[in-house]
Amino acid sequence: SSCVDTSACQFVQYIGLDELQVAKVSFEMYPNPTKHQVTLSFSQEVALGNRVQIFDVRGKLVREEILQSHKQELDVAELNEGVYLVRYMGAHKKLIITN
């Protein structure tokens, strides 16, 4: 007796907890525009230890910080004047750096 595989292939995609919570993530960012420092304020549901990323207008990652507090200050004085994108778990905001 010979066995024949008659099952169909199924595509299975696993989604992690962080990805499921992306829609719920939001944050405030002030002051904006800024010269030296910006404060990011997150809701209490946000897990600490995740990355906050800053990208320039070309999409290059120029800064990355680990979220250590629900209200975190970032020193952006070393960034050139311009427009940046601040991203946290899929949520993003435009940041303007002035001289």
- 46-96: pLDDT as tens digits: 778 889 999 999 999 999 999 998 899 999 999 999 999 999 988 899 999
- pTM as predicted: 0.72
Q: Does residue 36 have a pLDDT over 60?
A: yes
Q: Burial code of 15-52, b = ≥16 C-beta within 10 A, e = fewer?
A: eeeeeeeeeebebebeeeebeeebebebeeebeeeeeb
